[in-house]
Amino acid sequence: MLCKTDLSRAAEVQLNSYNIFGVIFVNQSNRIRLVEDDITSLDVEAIVNAANNSLLGGGGVDGAIHRAAGPELLAECRTLNGCRTGEAKITGGCKLPARYVIHSVGPVWHGGTNNEKELLAQCYRSCFALVNQHDIKSVAFPAISTGVYGFPKQAAAQIAVRETLCALAGNSTLEMVLFSCFNTETCMAYQETLALLSSKQ
Ligand code: AR6
């Protein structure tokens, strides 16, 4: 069952061991957390980038990650030959606190008739496949596709949470999945989704 933050002492100790601040929600198992923070500052093993097909940088979270990681990240991305929508590729974190960056390309929202929901779900599944392969213990996601690509925030949060629950159920060594919410609307969308799940359990 999911519950509102009200962090227990034990949870705080565990959070501090990851140096994660600004946590606004944690589920009962402590494995899903919402943070209102810039993803580039997070002390996790991997952060996910909402990239484009070229993987050569852009605006939004992609721009922020490349700026914080430094030019070595772009150099590594150049060797990857881009990435298809719904897929993901991994690089080192360069100057970021995170050891890895997982670059995934979300769908552009065209009204919902272009398989957008399935493609977004595929993004999360592709990222979690890399998390498994690299034995990553903690990963932070931005709200993929909900910025420039225009995917509705609530629908995107539902997909992100559903795929995360599925991944956590299949990977007992993954300790923590963080959703990095960069604005209030995104935070609300995740909080509502998690609260709804909680009320159903
Ligand atoms: N930390 C966490 N989340 C952030 C940050 C940050 N530093 N900056 C923005 N966000 P977007 P997309 C949030 O547009 O919709 C790029 O140009 C933002 O508020 O970054 O998948 C790429 O190169 C929003 O909630 O990604 C692509 O061309 C979320 O991240 C295109 O944008 C995603 O917004 C991808 O568009």
**Domain locations in the chain as residue ranges:** 22-198
Residue nearest to ligand 1 atom 4, measured at CA: 61
> What pairing do the DSSP bridges indicate for beta strands 46-51 and 138-141?
parallel
Residue with the larger pLDDT of the pair 87 and 8: 87
Mean pLDDT of the chain: 89
- Tokens 């709200």: give the residue: 143
Write down the CATH number for the domain with range 22-198.
Answer: 3.40.220.10
Rounded distance from Cα 119 to ligand 1 centre (Å)? 17
- Tokens 């150049």: give the residue: 78
- Is the pLDDT assigned to residue 8 strictly greater than 80? no
CA–CA distances in Å: residue 13 to residues 18, 21, 29, 36, 54? 9, 12, 14, 19, 40
- Is the pLDDT assigned to residue 129 strictly greater than 80? yes
Which of 55, 66, 74, 148 has most ligand 1 atoms within 8 Å of CB, for mutation? 148
**Among 23, 108, 96, which residue's Cα sits nearest to residue 66?**
96
Q: What pTM value is reported for the model? A: 0.91
Whether ligand 1 lies within 6 angstroms of the CB of 61 is answered as: yes
Give the pLDDT score at 23.
Answer: 66
Continuous segment of H or E residues that includes residue 154: helix 153-170
Is 62 a catalytic site residue?
yes
Give the pLDDT score at 196.
Answer: 82
44-48, 126-130, 170-174, 196-200: least confidently modelled range: 196-200
Distance of CA 124 to the CA centre of its chain: 8
Proportion of the chain above pLDDT 70, given as a percent: 84
Q: How far apart are alpha carbons 115 and 118 in whole angstroms? A: 6
Rounded distance from Cα 109 to ligand 1 centre (Å)? 14
Q: Give the phi and the psi of residue 95 in degrees, each rounded to 5.
A: -85, 0
Judge contact between 196 and 155, C-beta under 8 A: no
